[in-house]
Amino acid sequence: NAGVTQTPKFQVLKTGQSMTLQCAQDMNHNSMYWYRQDPGMGLRLIYYSASEGTTDKGEVPNGYNVSRLNKREFSLRLESAAPSQTSVYFCASAKQGASTDTQYFGPGTRLTVL
Protein backbone atom coordinates (compact mmCIF):
# COMPACT_ATOMS: atom_id res chain seq x y z
CA ASN A 1 0.00 0.00 0.00
CA ALA A 2 1.25 3.45 -0.90
CA GLY A 3 -0.79 5.11 1.88
CA VAL A 4 -1.38 8.80 1.16
CA THR A 5 0.29 10.22 -1.92
CA GLN A 6 0.55 13.86 -2.96
CA THR A 7 1.57 15.54 -6.20
CA PRO A 8 3.52 17.59 -6.94
CA LYS A 9 6.25 17.53 -4.30
CA PHE A 10 7.47 21.03 -5.14
CA GLN A 11 5.91 23.92 -7.01
CA VAL A 12 6.80 27.55 -7.69
CA LEU A 13 4.04 29.88 -8.82
CA LYS A 14 3.80 33.53 -9.70
CA THR A 15 1.23 35.69 -7.97
CA GLY A 16 -2.13 35.25 -9.65
CA GLN A 17 -1.45 31.85 -11.14
CA SER A 18 -3.66 28.90 -10.33
CA MET A 19 -2.87 25.32 -9.54
CA THR A 20 -4.34 22.14 -8.10
CA LEU A 21 -2.69 19.96 -5.49
CA GLN A 22 -3.59 16.32 -5.81
CA CYS A 23 -4.04 13.81 -3.00
CA ALA A 24 -4.97 10.15 -3.10
CA GLN A 25 -5.21 7.40 -0.50
CA ASP A 26 -5.47 3.66 -0.98
CA MET A 27 -6.60 2.69 2.53
CA ASN A 28 -10.34 2.91 1.83
CA HIS A 29 -10.66 5.78 4.29
CA ASN A 30 -13.79 7.87 4.42
CA SER A 31 -12.36 11.12 5.76
CA MET A 32 -9.72 13.32 4.15
CA TYR A 33 -8.09 16.60 5.16
CA TRP A 34 -5.94 19.41 3.80
CA TYR A 35 -3.54 21.27 6.10
CA ARG A 36 -0.95 23.94 5.69
CA GLN A 37 2.18 24.08 7.83
CA ASP A 38 3.95 27.35 8.50
CA PRO A 39 6.89 27.94 10.87
CA GLY A 40 5.70 28.51 14.42
CA MET A 41 2.06 27.97 13.43
CA GLY A 42 1.81 24.21 13.54
CA LEU A 43 -0.74 22.59 11.26
CA ARG A 44 -3.83 24.53 10.32
CA LEU A 45 -6.81 22.86 8.74
CA ILE A 46 -7.88 24.31 5.39
CA TYR A 47 -10.73 22.02 4.37
CA TYR A 48 -11.88 18.53 5.18
CA SER A 49 -14.18 15.92 3.76
CA ALA A 50 -15.92 13.73 6.29
CA SER A 51 -17.08 11.34 3.58
CA GLU A 52 -17.38 11.11 -0.19
CA GLY A 53 -19.64 13.87 -1.44
CA THR A 54 -19.16 16.24 1.50
CA THR A 55 -16.67 19.00 2.18
CA ASP A 56 -16.41 21.55 4.99
CA LYS A 57 -14.30 24.56 5.78
CA GLY A 58 -11.56 24.39 8.33
CA GLU A 59 -9.69 27.12 10.15
CA VAL A 60 -8.12 28.86 7.12
CA PRO A 61 -10.24 28.23 3.97
CA ASN A 62 -9.94 31.65 2.29
CA GLY A 63 -8.25 31.49 -1.10
CA TYR A 64 -8.76 27.75 -1.49
CA ASN A 65 -11.30 25.36 -2.95
CA VAL A 66 -11.52 21.60 -2.69
CA SER A 67 -13.05 18.72 -4.57
CA ARG A 68 -13.69 15.24 -3.24
CA LEU A 69 -13.47 13.56 -6.61
CA ASN A 70 -14.24 10.08 -5.28
CA LYS A 71 -13.49 8.12 -2.15
CA ARG A 72 -9.77 7.96 -2.96
CA GLU A 73 -9.04 11.48 -4.14
CA PHE A 74 -9.26 14.92 -2.55
CA SER A 75 -7.81 17.89 -4.43
CA LEU A 76 -6.98 21.42 -3.26
CA ARG A 77 -7.14 24.32 -5.72
CA LEU A 78 -5.62 27.75 -5.50
CA GLU A 79 -7.49 29.94 -7.98
CA SER A 80 -5.26 33.00 -7.74
CA ALA A 81 -2.12 32.33 -5.76
CA ALA A 82 -0.77 34.93 -3.32
CA PRO A 83 2.60 35.09 -1.55
CA SER A 84 0.77 34.45 1.75
CA GLN A 85 -0.02 30.98 0.43
CA THR A 86 3.64 30.04 0.40
CA SER A 87 3.64 27.03 2.69
CA VAL A 88 3.97 23.28 2.97
CA TYR A 89 0.67 21.54 2.29
CA PHE A 90 -0.22 18.18 3.76
CA CYS A 91 -3.06 15.88 2.91
CA ALA A 92 -4.27 13.36 5.48
CA SER A 93 -6.89 10.66 5.72
CA ALA A 94 -8.66 8.80 8.51
CA LYS A 95 -10.84 5.70 8.52
CA GLN A 96 -14.11 7.29 9.63
CA GLY A 97 -13.19 10.67 11.00
CA ALA A 98 -14.30 9.47 14.40
CA SER A 99 -12.88 10.84 17.60
CA THR A 100 -10.50 7.93 18.07
CA ASP A 101 -9.26 7.65 14.50
CA THR A 102 -5.61 8.04 13.68
CA GLN A 103 -4.75 10.31 10.76
CA TYR A 104 -2.33 9.23 8.05
CA PHE A 105 -0.36 11.96 6.32
CA GLY A 106 1.12 12.34 2.88
CA PRO A 107 4.70 13.55 2.30
CA GLY A 108 3.66 17.13 1.60
CA THR A 109 3.85 19.69 -1.22
CA ARG A 110 6.22 22.63 -0.84
CA LEU A 111 4.65 25.62 -2.56
CA THR A 112 6.37 28.94 -3.15
CA VAL A 113 4.42 31.88 -4.53
CA LEU A 114 6.56 34.71 -5.89
Partner 1 sequence: AQSVAQPEDQVNVAEGNPLTVKCTYSVSGNPYLFWYVQYPNRGLQFLLKYITGDNLVKGSYGFEAEFNKSQTSFHLKKPSALVSDSALYFCAVRDKGGGGSYIPTFGRGTSLIVHP
Pick the binder of partner 1 from 31, 75, 85, 93 (CB under 8 A).
31
105 binds partner 1 (CB under 8 A): yes
Site string for partner 1, 49-78 (x = CB under 8 A): -xx--x-x-x--------------------
> Number of residues in contact with partner 1, rule: CB under 8 A?
29
Instruction: Say which DSSP state 99 is in.
Output: T
**Phi-psi category of residue 40: left, alpha or beta, with phi > 0 → left and psi -120 to 50 → alpha:** left
What distance in Å separates the CA atoms of residue 97 and residue 36, rounded to the nearest whole number?
Answer: 19
1 binds partner 1 (CB under 8 A): no
